[in-house]
Amino acid sequence: MNYRHIYHAGNFADVLKHAVLARLVRYLQNKDKAFRVLDTHAGIGLYDLSSEEAQKTGEWLDGIGRLLEAELVPQVADLLEPYLTAVRELNPEGGIRLYPGSPKLARMLFRPQDRLSAMELHPEDFQRLHRLFEGDHHARITELDGWLALGAHLPPKEKRGIVLVDPPFEEDGEYERLVDGLAKAWRRFPGGTYCLWYPLKKDAPIKAFHEALQALEIPKMLCAELTVKSDRGFTGLTGSGLIIVNPPFTLKDELHALLPALKDMLAQDRFASQRAFWLRGEH
């Protein structure tokens, strides 16, 4: 319960997560039918990058700060358009002070029929998230351990949806919880699109994590990873990954265009790398 995302808002990991989340939302909007985004670890929803906490780490400068100043080739600009348009709408005077968390970003991309369910356990953060969406009939904000939402809140009544699971990874065993949480959720809602975030850092059990996911025998699982620097002599976050279950059929090709561009823009040393591959399913 100590984790506060304000220190990390808009960093390179947020860029990858939010760029992909925006692609998923846009894809589901190819059909008129409504869908729901379920955000299990929602945070406060909107972050002030001029705050003391964000300024203390300055992580956003090497994330969204770089992205907004980069020259984008047309294909990459198109793929990032929903995400970057939302960010710019929050900062009409230019530059960047306000940055949307996942629930705010999804909500900004919605059509009238789309809905949000956001969970946050931290009491103070829940209050801020609740205030942000007060009076918004498209959003349901719940003070709840997000892991419980994977049982209690699935399937959504719309029968279509994106489930974003983005835990803080401040306790041991979070990779295992992610596997167990997906297994439970998928049994209840096998047709949903799931987006699971995880950190890349020195000695992280990524191989065992991927093998445990493969053992679930969920038919389609796509993995995207972006590393911005070497973990040699560094114990903090060096990259992040996403597991996308039931991904749009277009997403693999989009990642092959997007990830190399993000690597070039966000690299912090010559060891930056990226990859997108099937954990299970199409190859």
Using DSSP's 3-state secondary structure scheme, residue 140 falls into: strand
Binding-site annotation, residues for S-adenosyl-L-methionine? 18, 41, 102, 120, 145-146, 166
Q: What whole-number distance in Å separates Cα of residue 183 and Cα of residue 178?
A: 9
125 is annotated as an active-site residue: no
Q: 165: which DSSP letter? A: E
Identify residue 270 by its one-letter amino acid code: R
Residues flagged as binding site:
18, 41, 102, 120, 145-146, 166
Among 71, 101, 74, CA closest to 86: 101
167 touches 177 (CB < 8 A): yes
- The two structure tokens encoding residue 51: 């705050």
* Catalytic residue from among 32, 48, 166, 203: 166
CB 19 within 8 A of CB 80: yes
Is residue 153 classed as helix, strand or coil in its secondary structure? coil
Residues 6+ apart with CB under 8 A from 239: 12, 13, 199, 200, 201, 225, 226, 227, 228, 229, 273
Residue corresponding to tokens 């719309």: 158
CA–CA distances in Å: residue 160 to residues 7, 24, 148, 251: 33, 12, 19, 18
* Residue 224 neighbours by CB distance under 10 Å: 27
Residue matched to tokens 């990954």:
241
Q: Are 220 and 247 in contact, with CB atoms under 8 Å apart? A: yes
DSSP for 91-133, please give it.
-TTSS-SEEE-HHHHHHHH--TT-EEEEE--SHHHHHHHHHHT
- Asked whether 129 and 122 are in contact (CB, 8 A), the reply is no
Residues annotated catalytic, as ranges? 166
